[in-house]
Amino acid sequence: MSGGGAEEGNNLEFTPTWVVAVVCSVIVAASFAAERFLHYGGKFLKKKNQKPLYEALQKIKEELMLMGFISLLLTVTQNGIIKICVPVGWTHHLLPCKLEDKEENEESKTPISHFQTSFSFSNIFGTARRLLAESEDHQPTGEKLGHCAAKGKVPLLSAEALHHLHIFIFVLAIVHVTFCVLTVFFGGLRIRQWKSWEDSVGDENYEAQPGSEATLTHVHQHAFIRNHFTGLGKDSAVLGWVKSFFKQFYGSVTKLDYVTLRLGFIMTHCRGNPKFNFHKYMIRALEDDFKKVVGISWYLWIFVVIFLLLNIHGWHTYFWIAFIPVILLLAVGTKLEHVIIQLAHDVAEKHSAIEGELVVQPKDDLFWFHRPHIVLFLIHFILFQNSFEIAFFFWIWVTYGFDSCIMGRVRYIVPRLIIGVFIQILCSYSTLPLYAIVTQMGTHFKKAIFDDQVQVRLVGWAQKAKKKGLRGDNSYSGHGSSHADAGIQLGSVFRRASNHEDNVIVPRNDGSV
pLDDT averaged over every residue in the chain: 74
pLDDT recorded at residue 111: 42
Q: Which of 6, 167, 11 is nearest to 75 (CA)?
A: 167
User: Predicted confidence band at 382 (pLDDT cuts at 50, 70, 90)?
Assistant: very high
| AA identity, residue 480 | G
* pLDDT for residue 136 is more than 50: no
Cβ partners under 8 Å of residue 38, min gap 6: 57, 60, 61
CB 310 within 8 A of CB 468: no
pLDDT recorded at residue 204: 62
Rounded Cα distance between 62 and 260, Å, is: 40
Q: What residues form DSSP beta bridges with 195?
A: none
pLDDT recorded at residue 119: 37
Average pLDDT over residues 364-382: 89
Rounded Cα distance between 294 and 314, Å, is: 33
pLDDT recorded at residue 458: 56
- The string of pLDDT tens digits covering residues 457-495 is 555 666 667 667 665 554 444 444 444 444 444 444 444
pLDDT recorded at residue 335: 93
**Length, in residues, of the chain:** 513
In eight-state DSSP terms, residue 312 is: -
Most confident of 17-26, 77-86, 371-380: 371-380
- The string of pLDDT tens digits covering residues 432-446 is 999 989 988 888 877
- The string of pLDDT tens digits covering residues 172-182 is 888 888 888 88
- The string of pLDDT tens digits covering residues 3-47 is 333 345 567 777 788 888 888 888 888 888 888 888 888 888 778
pLDDT above 90 covers what percent of the chain?
Answer: 7
* pLDDT for residue 48 is more than 70: yes
Rounded Cα distance between 42 and 187, Å, is: 22
- The string of pLDDT tens digits covering residues 390-412 is 888 888 888 888 877 877 778 88
Neighbours of 286 (CB within 10 A): 23
Residue 216 DSSP SS3: strand
Top pLDDT among 458 and 233 is at 233
Neighbours of 331 (CB within 10 A): 14
pLDDT recorded at residue 419: 92
Task: Give the pTM.
Answer: 0.73
| Residue 395 C-beta-side C-alpha neighbours within 13 Å | 21
pLDDT recorded at residue 373: 87
pLDDT recorded at residue 326: 92
Burial class of residue 267 (count of CB atoms within 10 Å of its CB; 0-12, 13-18, 19+): middle
